Amino acid sequence: MNKAEQLKDIQSQSDERNVGIRKVGVKDLRYPITLLDRQSEKQHTVASMNMYVDLPHHDRGTHMSRFVEVLERHKLKLWPSNLDEILNDMRKTFECETAHIDITFPYFIRKAAPVSGIQSLMEYTCRLEAERDGHLAMWFSVDVPVTNLCPCSKEISDYGAHNQRGIIHLRVHTRHFIWYEELIEMAESSASSPLFTILKRQDEKYITERAYDNPRFVEDAAREVAIQLKADQRIDQFRVEVENYESIHNHSAYACITSDDVSS
């Protein structure tokens, strides 16, 4: 018997406290992944990953190294069929009922400025949560930075109106695949104006005037997004959160709408 075989497997010891654990695993594991990209077919990025399984009351611990071993067995491509393979591998490896994976990553879209047409990459923070027990459940999330111009400021001021840079956060549960680009487009179309990484003077003029012509409270932006999500037959549940970083206050403005709040 070699030395490795002589080492005690402490995690596999039985536990007499009769308390099961809903989620146990690893958090903030940095790992390279490949994404489906609507423009370029594939995109490579680095994700922060949480991976969990349930632990029966009679087991003392989980073998944490096995989570990374699961990833190493898969060329991590982030589309539903591959992700379900990983979750099923986790269930088999850990002999558990439920496997959960939570992946957050930067996602880049090449955008053209509205007038000059100059192109640049725009970063969005995206997230994919997936859980497999008897069935597969998947949630897609994205944070979309936008500009919102205050309708009240525009109405009462003799000169201009104050602008607020904000974030529209979308979290959706879908019946079918949906592109992150589609969610981003819904959010940007509901704000006073989208953001761009590169703008020339003519683009800046256009964006400034567009925002002035489309004033939005956080309530307006949240409602506009919610209406679009409710109308999409692929989406059965969602949450919209809009936060404006106020330019004339030392606090933010916030609004939240869920699918339950919108009548059919």
| Cα–Cα distance list, 247 to 151, 190, 209, 213 (Å) | 14, 20, 18, 19
Average pLDDT, the chain: 89
In this predicted model, what pLDDT tens digit does every residue of 153-185 receive, in sequence order? 999 999 989 999 999 999 999 878 889 999 999
pLDDT tier for residue 263 given thresholds of 50, 70 and 90: confident
The pLDDT assigned to 12 comes to 60
The more confidently predicted of residues 84 and 100 is 100
**Would you say 182 and 119 are in contact if contact means Cβ atoms under 8 Å apart?**
no
Most confident of 1-15, 32-46, 161-175: 161-175
Give the start-to-end residue ranges of the domains of the chain: 20-261
**Residue type (1 letter), 217:** F
In this predicted model, what pLDDT tens digit does every residue of 214-233 receive, in sequence order? 999 999 999 999 999 999 99
The pLDDT assigned to 99 comes to 94
Q: Is CATH 1.10.260.40 correct for 20-261?
A: no
Burial of 8 (0-12, 13-18, 19+ CB in 10 A): exposed
pLDDT tier for residue 82 given thresholds of 50, 70 and 90: confident
- Residue holding tokens 């509205």? 114
Closest CA relative to residue 49, chosen from 13, 25, 79:
25
